[in-house]
């Protein structure tokens, strides 16, 4: 390569590995690295032996997927994790020992005290305090907190009551396949035995995501409080959450009622949300305009609307938000964290 002309800065390029590159989130990470022109010198897609040898497209070229092993991370600068908790924990020591930074989408390290949990629109400064691992929050946590963060800047949030309506693709690639198969079977008058979800999801709702805990909440529901406290730096934040699986293919929808220290008017909240990074205000009830999952799929903004005074609490507001859980709720947020590392 020729030397750059004197006085012209040369952008550094990075060797980037994607752990779990052939899954839905991993493939989206590769796509978003290309979309956002991340300075990739070499892309190293890693997956299981079953997927090794397949190809992934990147900037018009075909890149061969490699079987992951402890030696896979030599010379790698950044690893984007799209693998299950077990694999994330297995390979994290090898990643950090190789000198790479592991930006992990699993829940394996989220609540560890020395691992930053980052939403770049909210707490980008936390990323600099990493010790080799940075965690990406849960998808519903990301969508919810991006929506309410601007309101919290007007007055600190004391508590939230949240109901999530989570798309079937949040359960992995098998979720949409099962939904479509069930619809086809029902239309043909045939029986279909579900395997991805505990019950039929077509024409149905399932009010359980994750295992139930002793307090009656599921593990998924507790993430909203535990992760919210860490990201917002509000250790006393209280969140009551109900997570529901719905027969929607993509994008999670979330109902939020929040209580702030002082009363925030709906107009104040709308203005703050409209100006907030990562948000799009869609709030025109008279025109029947409000966030819907069809409108938020395959893009990175969180749509926020239905902002109104909570008539059950003087200092309360209620709102509705939607966001693509595969992109902003997972892959895009992970790439955005990686961008913080190279700034």
Residues 6+ apart with CB under 8 A from 75: 15, 98
Does residue 279 have an active-site annotation? no
Question: CA-CA distance, 199 to 180, in Å (whole number)?
Answer: 14
Question: CA-CA distance, 118 to 337, in Å (whole number)?
Answer: 7
Please compute Rg for the chain using Cα positions.
21
Residue positions counted in the chain:
343
Please say whether the beta carbons of 223 and 107 come within 8 A. Answer: yes
What is the token pair recorded at 204? 């149905």
Does residue 139 have an active-site annotation? yes
Residue 253 burial (CB count, 10 A): 23
Please give, one letter per residue, the 3-state secondary structure of the chain: CCCCCCCCCCCCCEEEEEECCCCHHHHHHHHHHHHCCCCEEEEEEEECCCCCCCEEEECCEEEECEECCHHHHCCCCEEEECCCHHHHHHHHHHHHHCCCEEEECCCCCCCCCCCCECCCCCCHHHHHHCCCEEECCCHHHHHHHHHHHHHHHHCCEEEEEEEEEECHHHHCCHHHHHHHHHHHHHHCCCCCCCCCCCCCCCCCCECCCCCECCCCCEHHHHHHHHHHHHHHCCCCCEEEEEEEECCCCCCEEEEEEEEECCCCCHHHHHHHHHHCCCEEECCEHHHCECCCHHHHCCCCCEEEEEEEECCCCCCEEEEEEEECCCHHHHHHHHHHHHHHHCC
Q: Which one is catalytic: 94, 130, 252, 322?
A: 252
Q: Which one is catalytic: 94, 130, 139, 243?
A: 139
Residues annotated as part of the active site: 139, 252
């Amino acid at each position: 390569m020729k030397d750059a002309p004197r006085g012209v800065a040369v952008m550094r390029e990075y060797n980037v590995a994607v752990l779990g590159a052939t899954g839905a989130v991993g493939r989206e990470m590769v796509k978003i690295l290309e979309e956002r022109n991340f300075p990739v010198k070499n892309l190293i897609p890693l997956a299981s032996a079953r997927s090794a040898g397949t190809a992934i497209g990147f900037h018009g070229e075909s890149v061969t997927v490699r079987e992951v092993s402890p030696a896979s991370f030599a010379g790698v600068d950044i690893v984007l994790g799209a693998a299950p908790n077990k694999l994330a924990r297995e390979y994290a020591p090898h990643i950090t020992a190789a000198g790479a930074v592991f930006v992990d989408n699993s829940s394996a390290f989220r609540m560890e005290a020395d691992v930053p949990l980052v939403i770049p629109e909210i707490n980008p400064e936390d990323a600099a305090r990493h010790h080799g691992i940075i965690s990406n929050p849960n998808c519903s946590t990301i969508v919810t907190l991006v929506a309410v963060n601007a309101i919290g800047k007007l007055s600190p949030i004391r508590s939230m009551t949240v109901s999530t309506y989570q798309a079937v693709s949040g359960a992995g690639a098998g979720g949409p396949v099962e939904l479509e198969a069930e619809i086809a079977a029902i239309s043909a008058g045939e029986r279909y035995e579900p395997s991805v979800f505990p019950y039929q999801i077509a024409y149905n709702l399932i009010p359980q995501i994750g295992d139930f805990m002793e307090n009656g909440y599921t593990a998924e529901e507790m993430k909203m409080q535990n992760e919210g406290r860490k990201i917002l730096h509000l250790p006393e934040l209280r969140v009551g959450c109900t997570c529901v699986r719905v027969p929607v293919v993509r994008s999670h929808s979330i109902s939020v009622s929040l209580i702030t220290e002082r009363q925030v008017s709906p107009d104040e909240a709308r203005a703050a949300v409209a100006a907030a990074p990562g948000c799009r205000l869609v709030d025109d009830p008279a025109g029947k305009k409000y966030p819907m999952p069809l409108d938020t799929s395959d893009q990175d903004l969180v749509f926020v609307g239905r902002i109104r005074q909570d008539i059950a609490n003087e200092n309360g507001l209620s709102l509705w938000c939607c966001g693509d859980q595969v992109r902003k709720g997972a892959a895009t947020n992970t790439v955005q964290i990686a961008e913080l590392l190279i700034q």
